[in-house]
Structure 1
Amino acid sequence: MSLSSIIYKFSLYIHTLKFLRTEQFKYRILRKLFRPVVSERISEVKTLSWVYDKGEVFNQSLLGPFKVRYLNVVADINAPTSWNNPQFEKLWLYNLHYFDDLNAVDNALRTDWHVALVQRWIAENPPVAGNGWEPYPLSLRLVNWVKWFNRTGQTDPQIIASIAQQAQALSQQLEYHILGNHLFANGKALVFVGAFLQGKEAEQWLKLGLDILNREIPEQFLADGGHFELSPMYHCILLWDLLELIQLAELAKLPQLEAVVSGWREVAVRALHWLSVMIHPDGEVSFFNDSAMGIAASPQQIFQFAADLGLSHTTQQQPLTTLTTSGYSRLQQGANTVLFDHAAVGPDYLPGHAHADTLSIEWSIGLQRVLVNSGTSIYGVSQERLRQRQTAAHNTVIVDQQDSSEVWSGFRVARRAYAQLLDGKTLEQRCMVKASHNGYQRLKGKVSHIRQVELSASELVIEDELTGQWQQAQAMFHLHPDVIVQQQGSQVRLRLPDGQQLLVVTAGTVQVAKTTWHPGFGQTVATHKVIVPFHAAKQRVCFQILQDQ
């Protein structure tokens, strides 16, 4: 490795680590020094009798007694080594340990398979070794097992003992080294177990879980309702978690839960409004930061669950809605809907799910997506994971082949862009939002990017300005795979599935290149992108909706 590479790597670490909280450093050290200890034998533990009957929203993942499908990858799990098989990615193995199928669609048809698989897990995953005993899969599995046990009339004391063992292990390795959605999941799991089992230890888990949630909910759900990691997908995950906690409070009727549930409901209402702003007209999430379909409950399932709990939210959209705290705007005119990201990459101490997508946009005409960010199909530390996080994979401007935020490794960000909302208003039959970011100020030329998005019923206009010195810059516009691109000389036309045609108008040149879209994990769909190189500091790109077909 060259000296310049060593210096650059050192810079990445310094600019990543300087944002971490003291407790993150502390708990990383403690995790290295101490291993959780669980009781080898659990004395008889009794359970409370409430039945959690809300579920059946997730797709079936257990295809047979020994066959599963996670992240669009099907595999056999017929050996004890299957639980930690190194040929599969870490996230796939985590999903194997979640046991989501216990509460998936038509789960009652697979109860015998479920009982056998739970018993297999207990026999083949001794404490506290392997992926299944790490705190995040522990948290998700505990909730799934607790919801499943009473609903299906299970009585096996071995399963109860295992739940208690797993709660012991979780309580000793809470994810304060990560924080964010991981710590929230830890708290939720301890609350579920504490409300399910009886006894002094269960009461301690309930208190510990509530202490975590009482700390994290006010921080993680922002004033405008958005989850602070600023990913629509993770917003759905955490909002669903919150709704399940509200449901638990109604079912268990424990005074500890009844004392806090009204506050949870208020947060949920704000979060529902945020979600209604951030979805496309097709009803699915937008792709900012780590987002994909099929991981969380769908927005419509979330809205229905909330309605069942008596929670309502505002659904009528205005021509311009700005989520000021989280940093997103929704523009609507006629059949057009544009979502504009003028947000931070996430909380400074937790940008793991951030993409370098500042000032990117997504656009739908009616139910048809037109401009899409590239999405997320993979985690880990591969080159493809990095590519999907980089600026060039999003509908924004890349300067001198650098990213607006220094995304690196699988979940790290060094120097990052900070955005500022400059203006936003509704004019006669059009609306406009203007914002800037300083992510390119770290470059030698001290570049700032200013973007104005203006929308009417007949056109989308993007005006970009770059201040400072730069050698080359391009505006990227990634097309949904259903959009057909036709280039004749300098003219580029787009054709939607319904025959609607759009014309790309700009003073400079326009290029068309192949790329890929990733609507779900394990999914790669071929598509195209329109690239508009900068020939001056200011550039205007107009997508005109043609009336004469």
Structure 2
Amino acid sequence: MNLGHTLRWAVHLRPSQIGWRLLRRLQRAFLQLPMGAPNGPLRFLTDPWPGNAENGKRIASDGRILLLNLEHRLATPIDWHPCHKPALWRFTLHYFNWLADLKAAGRADAARALIADWIYQNTSPRSEGWHPYPLSLRLFAWLRHAPFVLEGADEHFRTLFLSSLDAQARLLPRLIEYDVGGNHLIKNLKGLIAASACLPTHIDGLSAWLEALRKQVDEQILPDGFHYERSPSYHLQVLVDLIDISDLMQEPPAWLNETIERMLPALATLRHPDGGLALFNDGDTGDAVLLEALDRRFGKPAPLPLLPDAGYARLEAGDMVVIFDAGLCCPDHLTAHAHADTLSFEMSVGTQRVIVNSGTYAYQDPDWRNYFRSTAAHSTIMVNGQNSAEVFATFRLGRRPAKAELFRDGDWIVGRHDGYRHLGITVERRLRLTAQGLEGEDRVIGAPNPLFSACFHMPSRDEEASGQFIRLSSEGQLAVHEGQYAPHFFEKVPARWLKLSPEPAGSNAISWKINRL
């Protein structure tokens, strides 16, 4: 690990983060699982999100589960900590969100057997299943699906299940992720609010946890309605979390519903005409079933042309849509899901994505993690073959843009950033969408004879797939490279990326057009 990278990352951490991180490490050695009491819930949560009946049948009948495009044997004896699976996948297994799939398949018997097996096998609070993030999601999932799993259950299972619920709700307040913050902290508070609303021995904490959530919402949701980690995927997650919290309240506070109303059009701004999410920062194109359920419930709010605080712009002309990122990478203290993607854009013609960013693929894959985070993996401008932000380790950034601008200049939208200030360079991209297609002007300012290029990623290696919709033209020098496209986690397909360089070399500007055919 490069010491310079680490120092440039650490200098942005808040002192409280460092303090909480040290406390958590000391705490881990002495952590004990509290005893739980089998108290029945005062009330149950609503269940508005549909499950996948096919996956539920696979779990119950075949003893196999499909999560994040990876399958695993889920028949006794169950391996709840498969070391051959990535950490994100193992976390997802411990979320128990897949209870919705068993519910859709009508297999409460299988749900009870798996829950009981988990309780018997996961008795150490220092194992990954008790990490506060999966703990928060599992606590909420068990409370949400309690009516389903308890109906027809014998007294032994009922006591086992309710005692474990109570124990999890007692442990979570000791593990709140103040050292991480962001969407993790929202998940922690969601679990605690649900426990306080549903479990009789936790009701006294409801007001305090709601106030803690309000403070986080004030910090994390920007004035334009977008989540401050600037990832469409995590914006969607936080939006659903807040909807779930609102649903469990008999009288939701006004600030909560007002926040949801602001977040919905912000989400629409980052959705392509195919209904999926744009690939900026970490995440994927989204769960189509979840997005459709959101649309059925809330309708389809009109996208916004500009999210000035998050730094996104949306251009539309005919059946063409362009989504442009000219914002900062992330909150400076929270770099986990940031990519070096400033001034990147994605483009659709109808429901066909024709220019994309490469996606995320995996968090813990050392061969691919920081390729997918790199500037070269995005449809943006790259100087001297370097990243516009120093991506390293799994979730860290060293140097990154300190200033990013997004503004209109007549019928052009203009983005500018200083991620290459160590080279004495500012980078600018100007975009204009007309009925004929997208025009772009890329420029580097501040250094003589710069070496820079514009990258354009296409979601398929098949030239005809995008070529039937668009054609890139420029007086610059064009090179074609093999690339990778990851529309979902652990799904990676061969793709193409085009590298456009100024002609003659050393020029500080290049113009290009993507013509609609």
Instruction: Specify if TM > 0.5.
Output: yes
Distance 1:508 1:78 in 2: 58
Counterpart of 1:398 (choices 360, 378, 382) is 382
* Residue pairs, 1:236-385, within 5 angstroms: 236-249=236-249, 253=250, 258=251, 260-294=252-286, 298-306=290-298, 314-315=301-302, 317=303, 321-380=305-364, 382-385=366-369
Distance 2:238 2:407 in 1: 31
Letter in 1 for 2:48: K
Q: Report the secondary structure of 1:49's partner residue.
A: coil
Q: Report the secondary structure of 1:244's partner residue.
A: helix
Distance 1:205 1:38 in 2: 21
Letter in 2 for 1:187: L
What RMSD, in angstroms, separates the aligned Cα atoms of the two structures?
A: 2.2
Q: Report the secondary structure of 1:358's partner residue.
A: coil
Q: Report the secondary structure of 1:162's partner residue.
A: helix
Distance 1:52 1:231 in 2: 27
Distance 2:497 2:36 in 1: 59
Distance 2:185 2:212 in 1: 8
Tell me the TM-score normalised to structure 2 length: 0.92
**Aligned position for 1:532:** 500
**Aligned position for 2:229:** 229
Report how far residue 114 of structure 1 moved.
0.6
Counterpart of 1:47 (choices 41, 50, 54) is 41
Report how far residue 119 of structure 1 moved.
0.4
Kindly provide the CA deviation profile for residues 30-61 of structure 1, in whole angstroms up to 9, marking residues without a partner as x: 01111364565434423213452323156754
**Aligned position for 1:514:** 482
- Structure 1's 217 and 96: CA in aligned 2 closer, same or farther, altered over 3 A? same
**Aligned position for 1:117:** 114
Report how far residue 530 of structure 1 moved.
1.2
Is the 1:167–1:190 contact (alpha carbons within 8 Å) kept by the matching residues of 2?
A: yes
Counterpart of 1:33 (choices 19, 22, 26) is 26
Report how far residue 106 of structure 1 moved.
5.1
Report how far residue 24 of structure 1 moved.
0.5
Letter in 2 for 1:435: G
Report how far residue 456 of structure 1 moved.
0.2
Q: Report the secondary structure of 2:368's partner residue.
A: helix
**Aligned position for 2:138:** 141
- Structure 1's 267 and 58: CA in aligned 2 closer, same or farther, altered over 3 A? farther
Letter in 1 for 2:274: D
Letter in 1 for 2:428: I
Is the 2:276–2:288 contact (alpha carbons within 8 Å) kept by the matching residues of 1?
A: no
Letter in 2 for 1:541: W
**Aligned position for 1:491:** none
Unmatched tracts of structure 2, length 5 or more: none
Counterpart of 1:89 (choices 71, 86, 90) is 86
**Aligned position for 2:100:** 103
Is the 1:233–1:296 contact (alpha carbons within 8 Å) kept by the matching residues of 2?
A: no
> Are 2:8 and 1:15 aligned?
yes
- Structure 1's 447 and 60: CA in aligned 2 closer, same or farther, altered over 3 A? farther
Tell me the TM-score normalised to structure 1 length: 0.87
Q: Report the secondary structure of 2:200's partner residue.
A: coil
- Structure 1's 29 and 60: CA in aligned 2 closer, same or farther, altered over 3 A? farther
Distance 2:44 2:89 in 1: 32
**Aligned position for 1:434:** 414
Counterpart of 1:478 (choices 446, 454, 457) is 457
**Aligned position for 2:467:** 495
Is the 1:338–1:363 contact (alpha carbons within 8 Å) kept by the matching residues of 2?
A: yes
Report how far residue 422 of structure 1 moved.
5.2
Report how far residue 436 of structure 1 moved.
0.7
Letter in 2 for 1:505: S
Is the 1:56–1:105 contact (alpha carbons within 8 Å) kept by the matching residues of 2?
A: no
Report how far residue 211 of structure 1 moved.
3.4
Report how far residue 296 of structure 1 moved.
8.5
Unmatched tracts of structure 1, length 5 or more: 1-5, 308-312, 487-493
Equivalent pairs counted in the alignment come to 504
Distance 2:290 2:440 in 1: 30
Letter in 2 for 1:506: S
> Are 2:382 and 1:411 aligned?
no
Distance 2:99 2:268 in 1: 29
Letter in 1 for 2:427: H
Letter in 2 for 1:441: R
- Structure 1's 115 and 462: CA in aligned 2 closer, same or farther, altered over 3 A? same
Q: Report the secondary structure of 1:109's partner residue.
A: coil
